[in-house]
Structure formats: structure tokens, C-alpha cells
A and B are shown apart, each in its own frame.
Chain A
Amino acid sequence: MSETGGPDVTNELRLPWDDDPEDLYEHAPCGYLTTLPDGTIVRVNETFLAWTGYTRAALIGHRRFRDLLTAGDKIYHETHYAPLLSMQSEVHEIALEVVGADGQRLPVLVNSVLERGAGGTPRIIRTMVFNAAERRSYERELLAARRVAEASEQRVRVLQRIVADLAAAPTEAEVAEAVVRAPEPAFEAASTSIYLVDVERDQLIAVASTDPTTGNWEDMPCSSDRAVAEVARRGDLHVIGTVAEAEEHFPDLAESMRRSGRNTVVLLPLTTGSGDEQALTVLGVLAFSFREERSLSDGELRVIRLLGQQAGQALDRARLYDDARRREERAGFLARMTRSLEEEHRLLQRARRLVERVMEFADWAEVRLQVGPAGLLEHAGTQPPDPDLLAERVAVATRDAQPIYAADDDGLACTVLPLTARGRVLGTLALRMTPDRRFAAGERLFLADLADRAGLALENARLYEQERAIARTLQRSLLAADVPGGDPRFVMETYYQAAAQDLEVGGDWFDAFLITPSKLAVVVGDVVGRGIDAATTMGQLRSAIRALASAEHGPARLLEQLDRFCERVDSARMATVVYGEIDLLTSELSYACAGHLPPLLHEPAGSPQYLLQARSAPIGSRAGDRRRTQHKVRLAAGSRLLLYTDGLVERRGRPIDRGFEILAREYARRRDAPLKGLTAGLADTMVGRDHGDDVCLLCLTLGAEERLERSIGADPLQISLLRADLRGWLVGHAVDTDCVNAVLLACSEAVANAIEHGYRDDPFGVVDVSATVSADAVEVRVTDRGSWRGPGADFTRGRGLQLIEESMDEVFFDRGEGTTVTMRRNRGERRQP
């Protein structure tokens, strides 16, 4: 065998590396198998037998290679190994597991070669088997490590997402929602709940849970002996690994673990503050649990602690943010409230507004003000608190000028705030906040601020009210001054209607006075501005006109003097005035208009005319035409002259021309109406009750008409208006008092009869009255178009008819379409007593 051709020493002397081939085969560092093409083992080496524990006899001729494989590998053998070998005639490094005689699995790597005979038919398979046990375990370790890394990465991903969510959560509630969703994906927890500490109420509030049915999920006092409260107090992470462990430390937890089938619970305080234990603040507790007994690795615990810190910081931030937002809301509310109060000038309305506004966050509120004899009380909301307890608290708050805040157990739940201004308690605002805000200490500053502002606003309204009352009184006293009356030569009717919104008194005024026994002056004017100043100026102007009016000068001269007057009284500048003087002997009107609306004249015949002459600029005008002129008109007996201020014709959204047209028409329509009530009726028709400006009217009837003709509605209230006209007319014709009284009585009775009987069923009926007077007698005719039922002289009205008969000398009834009563009473000596 020697290649050198030297002596064959192989049998005698074997070199250590010169292995016996047989021995090499048997004890090679790998297993050898020789199988038939169908896999039946025909030869196997000792190494393989030693690894697997089989005997040679058990294998050779009895088993196929694939019979030695695990179930999974058998399939793999069929699907991959065998086809591959058949195609390529060799396979390499196939990883398989061989099942040993004792059932132990041996991871192996296999190389096989298929030897073919002549013609290429498979003859034999040689298989080399490497022990891969260590390599496999190494691989498994690698795999496990990778899985751990992956799980940790998954956890980190979940946590990263949570942290991102936390950063974006602006409110405590949203932070809680984000945190409560963490433990399940991160640690495969079964359910999670979160509790937040409410410092003001010293409570742990159960805010969110992924499964509220598990555990004992409800609010508890911070001092509770329950596990959650205990952990909140301690401030560090608790992992309760088993029910038994819970039993030992937290009986309540053990009970709920058993009930909801949990075996491990983690209680994680949500903390903020530096790492320093002392400065740590617990803002809440996150509780999550596992069905199985779960041990947590150090890495997991680290991550859990991190979650607690992150959540705590987010909560802290959200609380600050909540605080800031609430502060902003409160500031916004106060600004809105102040603005809203300023929209109302009157005290009552302002108090009402305040209550309305406060109801945004209260379920009951009441303002009491110590103003006027009765005080002022406005309230809103349902279920008012106990009145006695409230009265007591109001009294104390008023006395001490200190707010009394609602407390949890005071049986009233109402905060009472004194409303002070300029060091004086004006009244109180009592309110019961909605339950979510009721006891929050943070509200106190806000409420104090609210009371300050409300107090000031109400005090201003009170002062305004006071000023307004003074101005109103001043104005009334000036207007109510003696307008001449009871003069048979003229009758006057005036009317003043304050603006409905009633902001401040206006500067409108009217006046009438006798300059001489036979010369009457009438004035209507309007001072620029409103309030006390306007009322005062109005008074000054009115007095000035009274002083300046003289028999000699006339209207134009008077206006010139007023121009000079306002050199000294500047507030009178730009006032408008219409001034007229009526000569009662000649019935001549001389008038002048200083920037004022033209008077309206209605003579007995024809339609009303505006007097458009003698116009010039307002008093003291610098830009306008101040050349004062006057104009004369002769007034027929019975003429009606109307002076008025712009409030009567001006209406927003309507051209002034249209206003003039309507006034002329309405005035004409009332031609036959009694003078009494005419101005009020005109104002009512022209501007209604809801108008924005003051209205001032003066209507003058000059001289007694030859014939009095009036039409009144079927309304008993109108009889007295008619009587007033008739009385004035009779006096104007120098009829003596007894006769006047008798005619008034008879006429009233006749009209009352017409209303009560003729128009019993017709509220819109009209009664016409006409009267004439001669030297001999007064004759009155009362006509209705009603349907009298029965004879008319029924029992109840009998006395009325009797009075007519008794007070008049002749009475005729004419019953046709309606009824006409004609009555006549003789005058003077002709009267038969």
C-alpha cells in the first residue's frame, strides 16, 4: 500500500492518522446511512446508532430513513427531500429531527447522494448525518431573543403611540382615555381602569375603564383603605402577582380579582415631579389586570414605571391647560356679561340680565337690591333653596360685606355674594352653581370678580335711574305748569309721551300763556340732547320765552332775542322752536318757525294745511339762515291748530314726507272728535306705544264754533270726552252754569241711551251729536243708527229719560233708522222754572 514502494508496514505499524477505513466509517464524527432508493436502511455506522440509541438490527432491513423522523419532518421528507434528491441526485444541509429510540429528538443536518446504476436507475442512497443539537439550541436562543426584542419593540411602539397621544391630549379626560388604552396592547393585559385624584374634593374619581364590569370600579375617598387609594398614597408601583398575595395585603382587591377572574393586578401610580421621591405628586392610578398569573420582567417593569411618569406629566399638563382654559372661559364670561349689562340702562332690566347671564353656570340665581321702598328682586331657575336659610345667609353677607361660599353640607348649596360699589352694599347675588362646579375653590376668585363687576354695573344703573327720575320730575314740573284754561275764547289740549325705550328724558316741551288779556302765546320746542342737561336747558328756554314775549315785538323779534340768549346759554344752541301769538280779539295768528316742523292748521271748512311760512334756522345756528321772519294767518272760529315735535312724524325707514301726509290725514279724520283726548289719540295712532323718541303735542281750538258737531264711538268712556268739548263750547257761548249743567246731563243721558240700547250689539257704532246755540235757546241733537229693541223706555233707563225730560224744555224722539233725540232748553228769562 506504500506509495513509495517501500516495505509494506501497514499491518505492523500504523500511524495514528492512518485510520482503519472500517473504523473510520464506524466511528466517524458523523452518522452514515446507506439506504435503498425506497429509503430502507441497509447500512448504518456506529456513530449514528450511538446518537439515536437504536441497535443495528432494529434498523437494517426494517426501517426506512424517513421512519426515524418527526411527524413534521416526515412530510418535509416526502415533499422536499425526496423529490430534490431524485432530481439532483444530491441534497445538502437539510435540517431535520431524528427521533431516537427513547423518543428524544436529535436535531441534525443531512447530506445525501443518490448513486445510479447503468441506465441511470437509482441504486443506492448514501446519507451523512451531522449532529446539529447545539447549533439548533443556539438558533432557538437567537429566535427567542428575537421574539423578546420584537415584543419589546411592540411595547415600545405602543408606548410611543401612547406618549404621542398623551402629548396631543388637551384635557384630563383625554389623557385618561389615552392611558387606559395602553396596557392591553403593550402587556397583553385583560382590562384596565384609571382613577384620577380630585384634590379639592379629596377623592379618587373613576374616570375610564376598558371593562367597567370588572373590579370595583367606582369613586372613593383618598383616605379609603382600598388598594387603589393605598397605592395612590404610597406613590409606587405595586404588582400583585397572585390572588393569595392580594389576600394578604389588599382584601378588597383579592375579592374583586376572584369575582372577575383575574390572577395578576398591576397598580401604577401616575406621578409627576422630579425623580426625587419627596417631590413626587400622585395624580392618579392606572390599574390593569391579567387573567393568568403573569410575572413581569425587569424590562417590562421599567416600561410600566415610565408609562406612569409619562401619564402623570401629561395629566399635570392637561390640568394646567384645563385651568388656563377655565380661566379663559371665566374671563370671557365676565367680558360678555359686562357688555351685555351695558346694553341695558335701566336698573330692573340690568338686574334681570345679570340673572340671565349667571344662569349659564348656575341652576338657580337671585338678585336682591336695596333700592326704593320695596327693593328689587329678580330670580331664575328651578327648585329655589330654603327661603329662611337663604334670608339668613343674605343678611350675614350684607352685614359683613363678605361673600359666603356654598359648602358641601350647608343644606343650601348657595353662594351669596354681596354686590358692593363705592364701599356700599347695594344688594346681593345668590346663586347655586351647577353640580360640576358647585364646590370648586377655583371658582371663588371668579365669583368675587363677577360680584365686583355686577355691583358696579348695577350701581351705575341705579345712579342712572336716579338721574333719570330727577330729570323726569324736572321735566314734568315744567310741562305741567299752568297752561291757561277755562277761557271761553279758546280750548287747549296738550300731550307728552316719553320714549318707550325710556333711555333718558328728551328736551321736548310745550307751553302756552297769555301775554296780555287778549294775546295768547303758544310754543312747542325741542332742545338738542337728552337727560338732565336737556331738561334744564328746556326749562331755561321756556322761561326765556315767557320773559321775552311781549305785546309789541312779535314772534320774529322773540326768536332774535333767543339767538342772543343762547350766546350765554350755549346748551340752548340748535334748539328748534315754533312760536305763535294769537290775538283773541281779531283771531289772527302770527307765527315763526326756528328750524321746527311746521304747525298744522285745520279750519272748519277744508282740509288741514301745514303753515310753511316764516321759516328760519334753529336757535343760535351759525350756518343756517337766522333772518327771523313772521307770518300772519286769520283763523276762522273753530279752527284747530296743532304744534308738535318731530317724534310724532319721524319714523325710521319712512320718509318724512310720508309722515306729514299721514299726520294730515289722521288729523282730518279726527275733525269731529272731541278735542279732549285728541292729542293722545293722535300720538297713539302716529307712533304707538313702542317708539324711540319723545312726543310732544299742543292742540288749540280757537273760538267757539257756530255749530258743534261731534261723532263718538259707542263707548261709555267717550261720553266724558264729549262733555268736555260741549262744556267748553257752551261756556264759549256764554251759556249760564245751570243751563250748561242741564244740557250736559241731558246730552250725556241721551248718548248713554244710544250706546246702551241702540248699540247694545254693535261696539263699533257711532253716535253723532250736534249742538247749536242762539240767544233764546240751546238745542242738542243726538243721533244713532242702532237697532233699538223694545220701546226703549224700559225700566232701568227710565230714570235717564226722566232726567232728559226734567232738565230740558222740549224733547222729541224720532225713531226711524236708528233714533234721533232732539232736545231744547230755553235760555235766560224764557226759561220756565
Chain B
Amino acid sequence: MTDQWVSFSRHGVAELVHLKGEIDLANANDIGRAIVARTTGASAVLIDLTAVSFLDSAGVRLLDFIVGDLDDRGKPIKLVVGERGAARMTLQLCSFRTDLLATDLDRAAAELDR
């Protein structure tokens, strides 16, 4: 149901979540459930937002929840947002911690290990 917005793969030890398209009030909850189902047991998570063309506050809420959950469990997480784009803009406007954001996947993966 949420396959058009979210897909999963592995990157090293990390669970890699690919998001794409528009994430808003209408689909954020479903996407959130799909992600949580995959990341609850993960030892590290990378969320790739470079293909996201729109992200609203509901999407921010969803990311905030996932980050909080992993922080609580002491597991590292990184959000890959690229140099520009809708996702980076929204997350910056919401003042997401800069240490969470990375501009490309490899760098994010490398930072996870540190």
C-alpha cells in the first residue's frame, strides 16, 4: 500500500529506508507504520529522503518519532537529504539537528560507524 513511497534495503549493518514522492498528511501515518515495522529491531537506520519532492509537518512528525525511538534505544540514525530540495527545506525550517542530516548516502553510512 505504501510501496510507491517507501522501499527498504540494507547498507552494511544499517537498515536503509528509501522514501520518494510527496509525503504529507494523507500518507504519513501509513508510511510511518511501514518504516517502524522494519526499524524496530535495526541496529542502525539510514533514511534516504533525496527523492522526496514534498514533505510536510506530518512527515516531520513521522521522522521525529523514528529518530526519538532510535535515540532511546541508543541506535544511530541518519537522514540523507541532499544539498537542496523540499525535504531539506522542511527539516531545516523545523530546525532538525544538523548531526542527523547528511548530504549523501556514503557519507551518512560512514558517519554511522563513528
Contact = CB atoms under 8 A, between A and B. Distances in A.
Interface string A81-95: 000000000000000
A749 to B, nearest CB: 6
A799 B89 contact: no
A807 interface: yes
A752 B94 contact: no
A189 interface: no
Contacts of B24: 716, 719-720, 748, 752
B40 interface: no
Given A741-B86, A799-B61, A807 B56 contact: no
A448 B77 CA distance: 66
A748 B59 CA distance: 12
Given A752-B56, A752-B58, A803 B25 contact: no
B81 to A, nearest CB: 13
A716 B58 CA distance: 11
B26 interface: yes
Interface string B14-48: 00000000101110000000000000000000000
A802 B58 CA distance: 13
Most chain-A Cβ atoms within 10 A of its Cβ — which of B24, B57, B58?
B57
Given A748-B56, A749-B57, A807 B93 contact: yes
B57 A800 contact: yes
Contacts of B90: 745, 803
A803 B93 contact: yes
A723 interface: yes
A806 interface: yes
Contacts of B89: 738, 741-742, 745, 807
A806 B54 CA distance: 16
A752 B93 contact: no
Interface string B61-101: 10000000000000000000000011001100110000000
Interface string A722-751: 010000000000000010011011001100
A719 B25 contact: yes
Interface of B: 22, 24-26, 54-58, 60-61, 85-86, 89-90, 93-94
Contacts of A755: 25
A723 B24 CA distance: 11
A681 to B, nearest CB: 17
Contacts of B60: 799, 803
A720 B93 contact: no
13 contacts: A741-B86, A742-B89, A745-B55, A745-B90, A748-B54, A752-B24, A796-B61, A797-B57, A800-B56, A802-B93, A802-B94, A803-B60, A806-B93
Interface of A: 716-717, 719-720, 723, 738, 741-742, 744-745, 748-749, 752, 755-756, 796-797, 799-800, 802-803, 806-807
Nearest to A717: B26
Contacts of A796: 61
A741 B90 CA distance: 9
B56 to A, nearest CB: 5
Most chain-B Cβ atoms within 10 A of its Cβ — which of A717, A802, A803?
A803
B54 A803 contact: no
A720 B22 contact: yes
Contacts of B26: 716-717, 719-720
A749 B57 CA distance: 7
Nearest to B88: A741
Given A745-B93, A755-B25, 14 more contacts: A719-B24, A719-B25, A723-B54, A741-B89, A742-B89, A744-B54, A745-B54, A748-B24, A748-B56, A749-B57, A752-B57, A796-B61, A802-B93, A806-B93
Nearest to B29: A716
A800 B24 CA distance: 11
B75 to A, nearest CB: 24
A756 B93 contact: no
Given A716-B25, A755-B25, A756-B25, A803 B57 contact: yes
A752 B56 CA distance: 9
Contacts of A803: 56-57, 60, 90, 93-94
A745 B54 CA distance: 8
B77 to A, nearest CB: 19
A748 B86 CA distance: 13
Contacts of B54: 720, 723, 741, 744-745, 748
Contacts of B93: 745, 802-803, 806-807
B54 to A, nearest CB: 6
Most chain-A Cβ atoms within 10 A of its Cβ — which of B22, B89, B94?
B89
Nearest to B86: A741
B66 to A, nearest CB: 15
Please name the 7 residue pairs, one residue from A and one from B, whose CB atoms are nearest each other, closest first: A716-B26, A800-B57, A806-B93, A716-B25, A799-B57, A752-B25, A717-B26
A377 B24 CA distance: 40
B29 to A, nearest CB: 10
Nearest to A720: B22
Nearest to B93: A806
A800 B94 CA distance: 9
A745 B24 CA distance: 10
A799 B86 contact: no
A807 B90 CA distance: 9
A252 B108 CA distance: 97
A749 B94 contact: no
Contacts of B57: 749, 752, 797, 799-800, 802-803
A796 B89 CA distance: 20
Contacts of B22: 720, 723
Contacts of B25: 716, 719, 748, 752, 755-756
